[in-house]
């Protein structure tokens, strides 16, 4: 073969290689745009999972991944630009907003359901039927670390029985919300308890220990109510209230341990990935259908209208930073 023919062949092969590389890169970029990634809170995870499964039925080619690494872990990934949507069981914090801003990640804040933090005790516990906020502060405050070790230290009327505590890990939104509600400061909680990101393990711990107390999202209590006692909490009006029936959460009767659950959506993803916008629209239109069945509480009708309007306008930032535990959700959308 002449040099000229070899040269022509070389150009032809190079052209094919470049074309193949270009096609692969194009397909890869297109595939990336069709993907939707969600991570975040364990509480609310089942809502996002149910929505993703139903979305997949009408959009068989959709590529929606749903994971749960906790509110703090999910927001860290979100503010780094690694995921499109983060589920959160609390409002995004100032330091997290600063991290998002540093990476030029704007977000749309969307409440998607309500939850009541259930205070749970072992079935053999026949004395802790209603706890006051003061008693909860005594139990869970950082000042009680290594000091409040028996039930009679919480209330002299309770037996001198070892107090064993089970609760979500300190980097979860549930831990933040509980400590904010009972001590007035998020993360102001004791460390000498059995922590877990898996709230089913907390249920197992409390159900297997006669002296135990813990707290979980309402769905975890509902799924295991035959194994647990649900402890009432004294409301600001002085009445002992429980998160069940769930109307107590909707009507803000179970205060201050009722809270909104959120998804935060990347504005960049909304602007550059049509699949994300389509999925979130489906989420807001349909999530209420499955909220109750997976153990949470649907938003009031007025709230859904406001949330959809907020998404349509693309309003970024948070309005919930000043919200206090127990305040109606519609005041802040």
Confidence of residue 30 (pLDDT cuts 50, 70, 90): low
Q: Tell me: the pLDDT tens digits for 31-65?
A: 666 799 999 998 889 999 999 999 999 999 989 99
Q: What is the pLDDT of residue 32?
A: 63
Cis peptide bond N-terminal to 299, omega within 30: no
Q: What is the pLDDT of residue 24?
A: 45
Q: What is the pLDDT of residue 105?
A: 98
Q: What is the pLDDT of residue 29?
A: 55
Q: Is the pLDDT reported for residue 1 higher than 60? A: no
Q: Tell me: the pLDDT tens digits for 104-129?
A: 999 999 999 999 999 999 999 999 99
Domains by residue range for the chain, with CATH: 30-112+264-331 (3.40.190.10), 116-250 (3.40.190.10)
Of residues 84 and 30, more confidently modeled: 84
What whole-number distance in Å separates Cα of residue 116 and Cα of residue 172?
Answer: 15
Among 122, 113, 118, smallest CA distance to 51 is for 113
Total-model pTM: 0.78
Q: Tell me: the pLDDT tens digits for 69-115?
A: 889 999 999 999 999 999 999 999 999 999 999 999 999 999 999 99
Q: How high does pLDDT run on average in the chain?
A: 89
Q: What is the pLDDT of residue 21?
A: 43
Q: Is the pLDDT reported for residue 8 higher than 60? A: no
Residue 41: HSE in the Cβ half-sphere, 13 Å Cα cutoff: 28
Q: What is the pLDDT of residue 22?
A: 44
Q: Is the pLDDT reported for residue 13 higher than 70? A: no
Q: Is the pLDDT reported for residue 252 higher than 90? A: no
Q: What is the pLDDT of residue 51?
A: 96
Residues 149-168, mean pLDDT to the nearest whole number: 97
85 burial (CB, 10 Å; 0-12 / 13-18 / 19+) is buried
């Amino acid at each position: 073969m002449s040099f000229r023919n070899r040269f022509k062949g070389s150009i032809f092969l190079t052209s094919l290689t470049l074309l193949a590389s270009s096609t692969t890169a194009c397909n890869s970029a297109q595939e990336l745009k069709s993907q939707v990634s969600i991570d975040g809170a364990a509480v609310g995870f089942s809502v996002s999972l149910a929505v993703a499964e139903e979305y997949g039925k009408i959009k068989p080619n959709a590529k929606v991944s749903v994971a749960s690494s906790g509110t703090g872990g999910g927001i860290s990934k979100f503010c780094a630009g690694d995921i499109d949507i983060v589920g959160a069981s609390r409002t995004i914090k100032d330091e997290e907003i600063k991290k998002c801003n540093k990476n030029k990640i704007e977000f749309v804040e969307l409440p998607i359901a309500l939850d009541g933090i259930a205070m749970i005790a072992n079935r053999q516990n026949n004395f802790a039927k209603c706890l006051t906020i003061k008693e909860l502060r005594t139990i869970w405050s950082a000042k009680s670390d290594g000091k409040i070790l028996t039930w009679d230290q919480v209330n002299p009327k309770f037996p001198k029985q070892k107090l064993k505590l089970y609760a979500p890990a300190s980097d979860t939104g549930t831990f933040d919300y509980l400590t904010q509600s009972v001590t007035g400061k998020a993360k102001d909680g004791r460390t000498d308890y059995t922590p877990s990101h898996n709230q089913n393990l907390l249920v197992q711990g409390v159900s297997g220990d006669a002296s135990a107390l813990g707290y979980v999202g309402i769905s975890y209590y509902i799924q295991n109510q035959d194994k647990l006692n649900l402890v009432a909490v004294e409301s600001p009006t002085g009445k002992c209230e429980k998160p069940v029936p769930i109307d107590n959460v909707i009507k803000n009767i179970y205060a201050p341990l009722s809270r909104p659950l959120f998804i935060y959506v990347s504005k960049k993803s909304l602007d550059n990935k049509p699949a994300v916008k389509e999925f979130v629209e489906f989420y807001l239109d349909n999530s209420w259908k499955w909220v109750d069945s997976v153990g949470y509480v649907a938003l009031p009708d007025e709230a859904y209208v406001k949330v959809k309007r907020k998404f349509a306008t693309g309003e970024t930032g948070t309005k919930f930073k000043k919200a206090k535990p127990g305040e109606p959700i519609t005041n802040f959308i």
